[in-house]
Amino acid sequence: MTTQVFRYEFAGDIDFAEVESSLVLSIMAVESLHGASEVRLDAAHAIDEDKRNCVIDASTEVGRDINRLFVGFLRREFGEDAFQVERLSEPPTRKAS
């Protein structure tokens, strides 16, 4: 199975607290679709304020839905040029949500 991991990097003028809020909102929305237990088991992400990035493992259906919602929220709130996304080959360390 191919790992689908995405790293988002944010421009310096973006309020990183708002980025974190967008990730939390994405996770909460996915809990409505898949249930809290499945999200806890299948969601993996890492966020680093100092490096101004966020990594999401989208190799599960839960992860793909979090990724889709997160990018949609980011585009709407900050615009297309406020962040960059790249596909990585390694998943992030699991973090409880």
For residue 66, give the nearest of 34, 18, 92 by alpha carbon. 34
91 within 8 A of 3, measured Cβ to Cβ: yes
Q: What is the pTM of this model?
A: 0.86
Mean pLDDT in residue range 20-39: 97
| pLDDT range class, residue 8, cuts 50, 70, 90 | very high
d(CA 64, CA 70): 10
Asked if the model's pLDDT at residue 92 lies above 80, the reply is no
Q: Which amino acid is at 40?
A: R
User: Phi first, then psi: what are they for 60, rounded to 5°?
Assistant: -115, 165
Q: Would you state the pLDDT for residue 89? A: 72
Domains, in order of start, for the chain: 5-88 (3.30.70)
d(CA 57, CA 77): 22
Asked if the model's pLDDT at residue 61 lies above 90, the reply is yes
